[in-house]
Structure 1
Amino acid sequence: MNAVLKSGFLLAFSLMSAGLMSKDRDFSLSVKKAEAKTLHFEVSNAKNLSLFIYNDSEGELYAENLSDEGQVAKSYDLQALAPGTYYLVAESESKVEKYKFTISKTNSINMDKTPVSSITKPEFTISGHMVKLHMDGPKYPVNVSVSDSSNNIHYSGSKVAEDGSVDLTFDLNPQFAETYTIRVEENGNVFNKIISFR
Protein backbone atom coordinates (compact mmCIF):
# COMPACT_ATOMS: atom_id res chain seq x y z
CA MET A 1 0.00 0.00 0.00
CA ASN A 2 1.36 3.42 -0.96
CA ALA A 3 0.34 6.81 0.35
CA VAL A 4 1.34 10.19 -1.03
CA LEU A 5 3.12 12.23 1.59
CA LYS A 6 2.57 15.93 2.12
CA SER A 7 5.90 16.82 0.48
CA GLY A 8 5.25 14.53 -2.46
CA PHE A 9 7.39 11.53 -1.60
CA LEU A 10 5.95 8.07 -1.29
CA LEU A 11 5.66 5.92 1.75
CA ALA A 12 5.76 2.20 1.26
CA PHE A 13 5.06 0.05 4.23
CA SER A 14 4.34 -3.53 5.02
CA LEU A 15 3.04 -5.21 8.11
CA MET A 16 4.99 -8.16 9.44
CA SER A 17 3.12 -11.08 10.85
CA ALA A 18 2.20 -10.18 14.38
CA GLY A 19 4.86 -11.32 16.80
CA LEU A 20 4.53 -11.94 20.47
CA MET A 21 3.64 -8.88 22.47
CA SER A 22 6.61 -7.56 24.39
CA LYS A 23 6.37 -7.59 28.15
CA ASP A 24 7.12 -3.87 28.04
CA ARG A 25 3.96 -1.83 28.03
CA ASP A 26 5.31 0.67 25.53
CA PHE A 27 6.79 0.69 22.05
CA SER A 28 10.34 -0.14 21.07
CA LEU A 29 11.84 1.18 17.82
CA SER A 30 14.77 -0.60 16.13
CA VAL A 31 16.62 0.97 13.19
CA LYS A 32 17.39 -1.77 10.66
CA LYS A 33 19.17 -0.16 7.72
CA ALA A 34 19.15 2.69 5.27
CA GLU A 35 19.91 2.10 1.62
CA ALA A 36 19.73 4.49 -1.31
CA LYS A 37 17.05 6.89 -0.05
CA THR A 38 14.95 4.29 1.79
CA LEU A 39 14.81 4.05 5.55
CA HIS A 40 13.94 0.71 7.23
CA PHE A 41 12.96 0.21 10.88
CA GLU A 42 10.76 -1.97 13.07
CA VAL A 43 8.42 -1.04 15.89
CA SER A 44 7.14 -3.45 18.51
CA ASN A 45 4.08 -2.70 20.68
CA ALA A 46 3.01 -0.17 18.06
CA LYS A 47 -0.58 0.21 19.26
CA ASN A 48 -1.70 3.85 19.29
CA LEU A 49 1.70 5.06 18.12
CA SER A 50 2.17 8.20 16.03
CA LEU A 51 5.12 8.63 13.68
CA PHE A 52 6.27 12.00 12.33
CA ILE A 53 9.01 13.09 9.96
CA TYR A 54 10.11 16.71 10.06
CA ASN A 55 13.03 19.05 9.61
CA ASP A 56 13.75 22.41 11.20
CA SER A 57 13.21 24.48 8.06
CA GLU A 58 9.98 22.98 6.67
CA GLY A 59 8.37 21.60 9.82
CA GLU A 60 6.28 18.44 9.67
CA LEU A 61 6.55 16.57 6.37
CA TYR A 62 4.59 13.43 7.21
CA ALA A 63 2.48 11.96 10.00
CA GLU A 64 1.09 8.46 10.44
CA ASN A 65 -0.80 6.63 13.20
CA LEU A 66 -0.21 2.94 13.88
CA SER A 67 -2.69 0.66 15.63
CA ASP A 68 -1.10 -2.80 15.38
CA GLU A 69 -0.31 -4.37 18.75
CA GLY A 70 2.43 -6.61 17.42
CA GLN A 71 5.55 -5.85 15.43
CA VAL A 72 5.43 -3.52 12.43
CA ALA A 73 8.13 -3.21 9.77
CA LYS A 74 8.28 0.19 8.06
CA SER A 75 10.08 1.32 4.92
CA TYR A 76 10.04 5.01 4.04
CA ASP A 77 11.00 5.95 0.48
CA LEU A 78 12.50 9.43 0.83
CA GLN A 79 13.40 10.08 -2.82
CA ALA A 80 11.75 13.53 -2.90
CA LEU A 81 13.65 14.88 0.11
CA ALA A 82 16.58 17.22 -0.45
CA PRO A 83 19.91 16.61 1.28
CA GLY A 84 19.84 17.75 4.89
CA THR A 85 19.05 16.80 8.48
CA TYR A 86 15.67 15.27 9.38
CA TYR A 87 14.02 13.69 12.40
CA LEU A 88 11.79 10.66 12.87
CA VAL A 89 9.63 11.02 15.99
CA ALA A 90 7.70 8.15 17.57
CA GLU A 91 5.09 9.16 20.15
CA SER A 92 2.83 7.01 22.32
CA GLU A 93 0.60 7.88 25.28
CA SER A 94 3.55 7.55 27.64
CA LYS A 95 6.75 8.48 25.79
CA VAL A 96 8.34 10.34 22.88
CA GLU A 97 11.51 9.27 21.07
CA LYS A 98 13.29 11.36 18.43
CA TYR A 99 15.79 9.90 15.95
CA LYS A 100 18.06 11.97 13.73
CA PHE A 101 18.88 11.06 10.16
CA THR A 102 20.74 12.83 7.38
CA ILE A 103 20.49 12.62 3.62
CA SER A 104 23.80 13.33 1.90
CA LYS A 105 24.37 15.01 -1.45
CA THR A 106 24.99 11.53 -2.88
CA ASN A 107 21.47 10.54 -1.67
CA SER A 108 22.67 8.13 1.02
CA ILE A 109 20.89 8.04 4.38
CA ASN A 110 22.61 7.83 7.74
CA MET A 111 20.33 7.31 10.76
CA ASP A 112 21.34 7.13 14.41
CA LYS A 113 20.40 3.81 15.99
CA THR A 114 19.76 5.46 19.36
CA PRO A 115 17.34 8.36 19.90
CA VAL A 116 18.74 11.86 20.31
CA SER A 117 16.04 12.33 22.95
CA SER A 118 13.67 10.05 24.84
CA ILE A 119 11.04 11.60 27.08
CA THR A 120 8.63 9.86 29.44
CA LYS A 121 5.31 11.65 29.55
CA PRO A 122 3.60 12.32 32.85
CA GLU A 123 0.74 10.00 33.83
CA PHE A 124 -2.40 11.36 35.49
CA THR A 125 -4.89 9.45 37.63
CA ILE A 126 -8.12 11.26 38.50
CA SER A 127 -10.45 10.24 41.30
CA GLY A 128 -13.15 12.77 42.05
CA HIS A 129 -11.27 16.06 42.41
CA MET A 130 -8.01 14.38 43.50
CA VAL A 131 -5.40 14.22 40.72
CA LYS A 132 -2.21 12.17 40.97
CA LEU A 133 0.76 12.94 38.73
CA HIS A 134 3.40 10.27 38.15
CA MET A 135 6.57 10.35 36.02
CA ASP A 136 8.96 7.41 35.66
CA GLY A 137 12.67 8.09 35.45
CA PRO A 138 12.98 11.79 34.64
CA LYS A 139 16.66 12.66 34.17
CA TYR A 140 16.24 16.35 34.98
CA PRO A 141 14.30 18.31 37.62
CA VAL A 142 10.60 18.46 36.85
CA ASN A 143 8.87 21.84 37.14
CA VAL A 144 5.14 21.60 37.85
CA SER A 145 2.51 24.30 38.07
CA VAL A 146 -1.25 24.17 38.53
CA SER A 147 -3.37 27.10 37.41
CA ASP A 148 -7.06 27.72 36.86
CA SER A 149 -8.89 29.33 33.93
CA SER A 150 -8.40 32.78 35.53
CA ASN A 151 -4.60 32.19 35.60
CA ASN A 152 -4.52 31.91 39.40
CA ILE A 153 -1.55 29.73 40.40
CA HIS A 154 -2.55 27.00 42.88
CA TYR A 155 0.81 25.21 42.90
CA SER A 156 4.29 25.85 41.53
CA GLY A 157 7.38 23.83 42.37
CA SER A 158 10.35 21.83 41.15
CA LYS A 159 10.82 18.14 41.94
CA VAL A 160 13.81 15.86 41.53
CA ALA A 161 13.10 12.16 40.98
CA GLU A 162 13.17 10.17 44.21
CA ASP A 163 13.56 6.41 43.84
CA GLY A 164 13.40 6.90 40.07
CA SER A 165 10.07 8.71 39.87
CA VAL A 166 8.18 11.90 40.62
CA ASP A 167 4.81 11.61 42.37
CA LEU A 168 2.53 14.52 43.31
CA THR A 169 -1.12 14.67 44.38
CA PHE A 170 -3.36 17.71 43.95
CA ASP A 171 -6.75 18.46 45.46
CA LEU A 172 -8.40 20.44 42.67
CA ASN A 173 -11.48 21.74 44.40
CA PRO A 174 -14.25 22.48 41.86
CA GLN A 175 -15.62 25.15 44.26
CA PHE A 176 -12.63 27.36 43.37
CA ALA A 177 -12.54 26.71 39.61
CA GLU A 178 -14.22 24.44 37.06
CA THR A 179 -11.08 24.01 34.94
CA TYR A 180 -7.43 23.54 35.94
CA THR A 181 -4.28 23.20 33.85
CA ILE A 182 -1.36 21.13 35.12
CA ARG A 183 1.85 22.14 33.35
CA VAL A 184 4.80 19.75 33.56
CA GLU A 185 8.21 20.77 32.18
CA GLU A 186 11.37 18.67 32.02
CA ASN A 187 14.50 19.95 30.27
CA GLY A 188 12.50 22.23 27.95
CA ASN A 189 9.83 19.65 27.11
CA VAL A 190 6.37 20.81 28.21
CA PHE A 191 3.24 18.73 28.75
CA ASN A 192 -0.13 20.27 29.67
CA LYS A 193 -3.09 18.43 31.14
CA ILE A 194 -6.46 20.19 31.35
CA ILE A 195 -8.80 18.95 34.07
CA SER A 196 -12.42 20.06 33.76
CA PHE A 197 -15.17 19.60 36.34
CA ARG A 198 -17.97 20.98 34.16
Structure 2
Amino acid sequence: MNALLKSAFLIGFLCTSASLMSKDKDFSLSFKNTEAKTISFEVLNAQNISLVIYNDTYGELFSEKLEKENNVTKSYDLKDLNSGTYYLVAESDQKIEKYKINISNTNTVEIEKTPFAEIFKPEYTIAGNKAKLHLSGLKNSATISVSDFSGNVYYSATKTAADGALEMTFDLNPKTSDRYVITVEEMGNVFNKIVTLN
Protein backbone atom coordinates (compact mmCIF):
# COMPACT_ATOMS: atom_id res chain seq x y z
CA MET A 1 0.00 0.00 0.00
CA ASN A 2 1.55 3.32 -0.99
CA ALA A 3 1.92 6.30 1.35
CA LEU A 4 -1.05 8.15 -0.17
CA LEU A 5 -3.38 5.24 0.43
CA LYS A 6 -1.98 4.73 3.91
CA SER A 7 -2.78 8.30 4.81
CA ALA A 8 -6.20 8.11 3.15
CA PHE A 9 -7.18 4.79 4.63
CA LEU A 10 -6.26 3.79 8.16
CA ILE A 11 -6.87 0.25 9.33
CA GLY A 12 -6.70 -0.83 12.95
CA PHE A 13 -6.61 -4.46 13.96
CA LEU A 14 -7.64 -5.77 17.37
CA CYS A 15 -8.03 -9.40 18.35
CA THR A 16 -10.01 -10.15 21.49
CA SER A 17 -9.96 -13.32 23.53
CA ALA A 18 -13.52 -13.38 24.84
CA SER A 19 -16.30 -12.19 22.62
CA LEU A 20 -19.72 -13.77 22.90
CA MET A 21 -21.48 -11.13 20.83
CA SER A 22 -23.71 -13.49 18.87
CA LYS A 23 -23.97 -16.53 21.16
CA ASP A 24 -27.20 -15.43 22.81
CA LYS A 25 -28.84 -15.01 19.37
CA ASP A 26 -27.77 -18.34 17.85
CA PHE A 27 -30.30 -21.01 17.00
CA SER A 28 -29.77 -24.67 17.87
CA LEU A 29 -31.11 -27.68 16.02
CA SER A 30 -31.66 -31.19 17.43
CA PHE A 31 -32.96 -34.24 15.58
CA LYS A 32 -35.66 -36.56 16.81
CA ASN A 33 -36.06 -40.23 15.86
CA THR A 34 -36.54 -40.90 12.15
CA GLU A 35 -39.67 -42.85 11.26
CA ALA A 36 -39.91 -44.43 7.82
CA LYS A 37 -38.50 -41.69 5.61
CA THR A 38 -39.70 -38.76 7.72
CA ILE A 39 -37.11 -36.67 9.49
CA SER A 40 -38.10 -34.55 12.48
CA PHE A 41 -36.09 -31.96 14.34
CA GLU A 42 -36.55 -29.12 16.80
CA VAL A 43 -35.18 -25.63 16.30
CA LEU A 44 -34.65 -23.53 19.41
CA ASN A 45 -34.50 -19.74 19.11
CA ALA A 46 -35.98 -19.95 15.60
CA GLN A 47 -35.78 -16.27 14.73
CA ASN A 48 -35.59 -15.65 10.96
CA ILE A 49 -34.23 -19.10 10.11
CA SER A 50 -34.18 -20.43 6.54
CA LEU A 51 -34.39 -24.21 6.14
CA VAL A 52 -33.40 -25.82 2.84
CA ILE A 53 -33.02 -29.43 1.77
CA TYR A 54 -31.06 -29.93 -1.43
CA ASN A 55 -29.17 -32.50 -3.45
CA ASP A 56 -26.24 -31.95 -5.82
CA THR A 57 -28.20 -33.62 -8.62
CA TYR A 58 -31.69 -32.13 -8.17
CA GLY A 59 -30.87 -28.83 -6.52
CA GLU A 60 -33.26 -27.35 -3.94
CA LEU A 61 -36.09 -29.70 -2.96
CA PHE A 62 -37.66 -28.06 0.11
CA SER A 63 -37.32 -24.57 1.51
CA GLU A 64 -39.02 -22.79 4.36
CA LYS A 65 -38.58 -19.61 6.39
CA LEU A 66 -39.20 -19.54 10.14
CA GLU A 67 -39.97 -16.03 11.31
CA LYS A 68 -40.35 -15.27 15.02
CA GLU A 69 -40.84 -18.49 16.90
CA ASN A 70 -38.88 -19.40 20.00
CA ASN A 71 -39.11 -23.18 19.59
CA VAL A 72 -40.49 -25.07 16.61
CA THR A 73 -40.62 -28.73 15.56
CA LYS A 74 -40.40 -29.49 11.85
CA SER A 75 -40.95 -32.73 9.92
CA TYR A 76 -40.12 -33.48 6.29
CA ASP A 77 -41.33 -36.58 4.44
CA LEU A 78 -38.59 -37.79 2.12
CA LYS A 79 -40.49 -40.80 0.75
CA ASP A 80 -40.43 -39.53 -2.85
CA LEU A 81 -36.66 -38.99 -2.92
CA ASN A 82 -34.30 -41.41 -4.62
CA SER A 83 -31.33 -42.95 -2.82
CA GLY A 84 -28.38 -40.61 -2.46
CA THR A 85 -26.89 -37.89 -0.29
CA TYR A 86 -28.97 -34.86 0.63
CA TYR A 87 -28.22 -31.83 2.74
CA LEU A 88 -30.24 -29.88 5.28
CA VAL A 89 -29.08 -26.28 5.63
CA ALA A 90 -30.27 -24.06 8.48
CA GLU A 91 -29.31 -20.40 8.09
CA SER A 92 -29.86 -17.36 10.30
CA ASP A 93 -28.42 -13.85 10.30
CA GLN A 94 -25.61 -15.14 12.52
CA LYS A 95 -24.63 -18.59 11.21
CA ILE A 96 -25.12 -21.46 8.77
CA GLU A 97 -25.27 -25.13 9.75
CA LYS A 98 -25.15 -27.97 7.21
CA TYR A 99 -26.24 -31.55 7.93
CA LYS A 100 -25.84 -34.65 5.77
CA ILE A 101 -28.80 -36.98 5.09
CA ASN A 102 -28.16 -40.35 3.42
CA ILE A 103 -30.97 -42.33 1.80
CA SER A 104 -29.90 -45.89 1.05
CA ASN A 105 -31.06 -48.23 -1.71
CA THR A 106 -33.24 -49.96 0.91
CA ASN A 107 -34.99 -46.62 1.59
CA THR A 108 -33.54 -46.18 5.07
CA VAL A 109 -32.64 -42.66 6.13
CA GLU A 110 -29.55 -41.84 8.15
CA ILE A 111 -28.90 -38.34 9.45
CA GLU A 112 -25.56 -37.12 10.69
CA LYS A 113 -26.78 -35.27 13.76
CA THR A 114 -23.64 -33.17 14.08
CA PRO A 115 -23.27 -30.52 11.37
CA PHE A 116 -20.43 -31.21 8.95
CA ALA A 117 -20.13 -27.46 8.45
CA GLU A 118 -20.89 -24.61 10.86
CA ILE A 119 -20.11 -21.15 9.57
CA PHE A 120 -20.53 -18.05 11.71
CA LYS A 121 -21.33 -15.02 9.59
CA PRO A 122 -19.43 -11.77 10.02
CA GLU A 123 -21.17 -9.18 12.17
CA TYR A 124 -20.62 -5.45 11.83
CA THR A 125 -21.03 -2.35 13.95
CA ILE A 126 -20.91 0.87 11.95
CA ALA A 127 -20.28 4.17 13.73
CA GLY A 128 -19.46 7.18 11.57
CA ASN A 129 -16.56 6.21 9.31
CA LYS A 130 -15.54 3.24 11.43
CA ALA A 131 -16.66 -0.27 10.58
CA LYS A 132 -16.01 -2.88 13.25
CA LEU A 133 -15.95 -6.48 12.03
CA HIS A 134 -16.59 -9.34 14.47
CA LEU A 135 -16.09 -12.93 13.36
CA SER A 136 -16.70 -15.76 15.84
CA GLY A 137 -16.27 -19.50 15.48
CA LEU A 138 -13.25 -19.10 13.21
CA LYS A 139 -11.90 -22.65 12.81
CA ASN A 140 -9.08 -22.13 10.35
CA SER A 141 -8.46 -18.78 8.73
CA ALA A 142 -10.37 -16.07 6.92
CA THR A 143 -9.28 -13.77 4.13
CA ILE A 144 -10.51 -10.23 4.70
CA SER A 145 -10.35 -7.48 2.11
CA VAL A 146 -11.62 -3.93 1.76
CA SER A 147 -12.21 -2.38 -1.65
CA ASP A 148 -14.29 0.30 -3.30
CA PHE A 149 -16.71 0.07 -6.22
CA SER A 150 -13.96 1.05 -8.67
CA GLY A 151 -12.03 -2.11 -7.82
CA ASN A 152 -9.31 -0.44 -5.72
CA VAL A 153 -8.20 -2.77 -2.92
CA TYR A 154 -7.16 -0.96 0.25
CA TYR A 155 -6.62 -3.96 2.48
CA SER A 156 -6.25 -7.70 2.01
CA ALA A 157 -4.92 -10.25 4.51
CA THR A 158 -5.53 -13.78 5.76
CA LYS A 159 -6.15 -13.86 9.50
CA THR A 160 -6.38 -16.56 12.15
CA ALA A 161 -7.45 -16.33 15.78
CA ALA A 162 -6.22 -18.68 18.51
CA ASP A 163 -9.53 -18.54 20.37
CA GLY A 164 -11.72 -18.47 17.25
CA ALA A 165 -12.82 -14.83 17.70
CA LEU A 166 -11.54 -12.09 15.44
CA GLU A 167 -12.24 -8.36 15.64
CA MET A 168 -10.98 -5.73 13.26
CA THR A 169 -11.76 -2.04 12.96
CA PHE A 170 -11.59 -0.23 9.64
CA ASP A 171 -11.38 3.58 9.57
CA LEU A 172 -12.88 4.37 6.16
CA ASN A 173 -11.98 7.68 4.55
CA PRO A 174 -14.97 9.39 2.86
CA LYS A 175 -12.56 11.50 0.77
CA THR A 176 -11.25 8.35 -0.90
CA SER A 177 -14.67 6.76 -1.56
CA ASP A 178 -18.22 7.05 -0.26
CA ARG A 179 -18.85 3.31 -0.51
CA TYR A 180 -16.66 0.37 0.49
CA VAL A 181 -17.06 -3.40 0.30
CA ILE A 182 -15.71 -5.54 3.13
CA THR A 183 -15.30 -9.14 1.96
CA VAL A 184 -14.78 -12.11 4.26
CA GLU A 185 -13.91 -15.48 2.72
CA GLU A 186 -13.94 -18.53 4.96
CA MET A 187 -14.15 -22.24 4.11
CA GLY A 188 -15.29 -21.52 0.55
CA ASN A 189 -18.01 -19.10 1.69
CA VAL A 190 -17.89 -15.43 0.69
CA PHE A 191 -19.69 -12.71 2.65
CA ASN A 192 -19.79 -9.11 1.38
CA LYS A 193 -20.77 -6.07 3.40
CA ILE A 194 -21.37 -2.73 1.67
CA VAL A 195 -20.61 0.26 3.86
CA THR A 196 -21.97 3.60 2.66
CA LEU A 197 -20.52 6.70 4.25
CA ASN A 198 -22.63 9.81 4.73
State the TM bucket, normalised to the shorter chain. 0.7 to 0.9
CA contact (8 A) 1:137 1:161 kept: no
Map of 1:85 onto structure 2: 85
Which residue of structure 2 aligns with residue 141 of structure 1? 141
How do 1:1-198 and structure 2 match up within 5 A?
24-197=24-197
Deviation, structure 1 residue 163: 4.0
- Scaled by the length of structure 2, the TM-score of the pair is 0.84
Distance in 1 (CA, whole Å) between partners of 2:92 and 2:120 is 10
Query: Structure 1: how far apart are the matches of 2:84 and 2:154?
Result: 45
Per-residue deviation, 1:162: 4.3
How far apart, in 2, do the equivalents of 1:196 and 1:71 lie?
36
Name which structure has the greater RCO, CA cutoff 8 Å, separation 6+.
Answer: 2
Aligned length: 176
Contact 2:129 2:172 in 1 (8 A): yes
Tell me which amino acid in the other structure corresponds to 1:28: S
**Runs (4+) off by over 6 Å:** none
Identity %: 57
Provide the residue aligned with 1:5 in structure 2: none
Deviations 1:9-39 (CA, angstroms, capped at 9, x unpaired)? xxxxxxxxxxxxxx83210000112221111
Q: Distance in 1 between matches of 2:163 and 2:119?
A: 18
Deviations along 1:114-145, whole A, 9 cap, x unmatched?
00111111111101111000111301111100
Q: Structure 1 regions of 5+ residues with no counterpart?
A: 1-22
Contact 2:37 2:109 in 1 (8 A): yes
Contact kept in structure 2, 1:149 and 1:180, CA below 8 Å: yes
Q: Structure 2: which 5+ residue stretches go unaligned?
A: 1-22
Greater helix percent: which structure? 2
